Structure 1
Amino acid sequence: MNRNILKSSLGTDSHPLTAHDNYWSRSVRESLAHQDWSQADLREQIDLPAWQGFLDDLPRDPYVNQRWKRMSWLALTPTGDVTNLGECPMAQGGAFNDAESMADKLRYYAPLTEEFLSRPDVKAFVRGWAGLWNLGAGEPILMQITGVRGKGQVDPLQGQGIHADGCKALSIMVVNRENVTGAENHLYRDKAGQHPIAHTTLAPGEVLHLRDDRVFHSVDGIRQLDETRPFERFIIIINSRFVDEFQNRILRRHFPHAILHTEG
């Protein structure tokens, strides 16, 4: 999006938009508030088979073999519409991604398709997600579809260890998993893993919400169940309010009028 258009669409009102507070049940909100994580099932709110239809045209991840990926930077306007901010690379500092090929580097990915982003249930999901975290207009939201598929091989970055993603608001939703076992999520109070909180394996349509600045997480590697058939596992990752200084510097460079919460 053109920078002048961005400034015009955001205006000066950055107060939280609460029109979609009823997207999540009270128990989801209470769990997130009291224990810094929660889990929900979205199969009644989204057309999951339709979302799965967008997996076929995902391009290969240029940085990770056997992975496919799209991502876009989104935001809410003051009226609660979902807007696409335009291109900005993913940038994770070494404190949040210690992989030699990715730490402190800019990574560029193909955007989410307009056909996907224009779906009413996708827009409702983004608005509802922003409401869950009390995000205001103009706060950059990173939404990714990413995953693995193949036959006889498994993504080498699966099971990447206990980590945080460098933000305050993070959610992970499984879109599809076929012919695989594993991928159990583990939550901890500390990066060393001495204080476990919970363990859960997400089914397609289930989403895990995390206060990423308070809870560390890891996911087990996946294994192909039937080696004669292809496997795949795809997820949506959506996050905002970055505490990663590297990512915030890049966001400010690309979206100078966006609202960044870098303190507090």
Structure 2
Amino acid sequence: MLMTNFLRERKSVREFKNKKIDVDVLSDIKVYLESIENEENNGSVRFSLYEYGEKLYNELKGVGGYSGVMIESPHYITLELMNNQESSIISSAYYMEKVITKLNNLGIDTCWVSIGNVEQDKKLQIFGEIIGEINYILAIGYGKARNPFVNDPISDRIGVEDLVFIDKIGNPPEGDELENRGLDDLFYYVRFAPSAFNKQPWRFLLKKDKVNLLIKYNDKEKPSLMDAGIIMYYFEYLANSIGINSKWELIKDMVVVEEDICYKYIGEFKL
């Protein structure tokens, strides 16, 4: 499936069939997870496939998930962070979305599940020896069929004019500026990337030969580094698909405040 179609149609599945994934496919997934760890190569992220999801679900039922609502699926993939550095948090989300794309191509549905509120002692009891921190797992399997007579709610998406700044924060693109630079489709489709609670905190500061990724937040929040990693993956993939073969370079310790709104600089992408 084209990435543009995948992004427009991408939905987290909250109800899974009681149908296990074929053992050969699970074996291929394990190999792929190992390849992702090797690609990441900093040793800051580790993935593990839990084939017997029922046990994991029963252990996390009532404590895992959003507001204690645990997603039941036949299998899970854990995301273990080996340290709390910002770069590790960002790359963990980047690579998990890469895993999700691979699973989608295999016809497998997914759902991010937060277990950040689960006590560490409970996690040790469930997962055994943990070197790092597990705050997210991925439920995987085959989603139940949706009722064709019930319309799925359509999430609002911010417009490109609110997503992209030109040269300085708060300055939107004018007229055909993005189209003339061949970037209109990229920014149109990247809007469909997922974010926690659909907050869509990402903003792009477009300059002559580069794009800076910013995360928008207020002074009572923390910038969502997981959302940063997710949007970086999809932006990079879409940019590469139109011939812009660059990769993100992270920016450290740079925050700008404009009218009580904070913008944390995350990375730079050369055009």
TM-score (norm 1): 0.29
Per residue, is there more helix in 1 or in 2? Answer: 2
TM-score (norm 2): 0.29
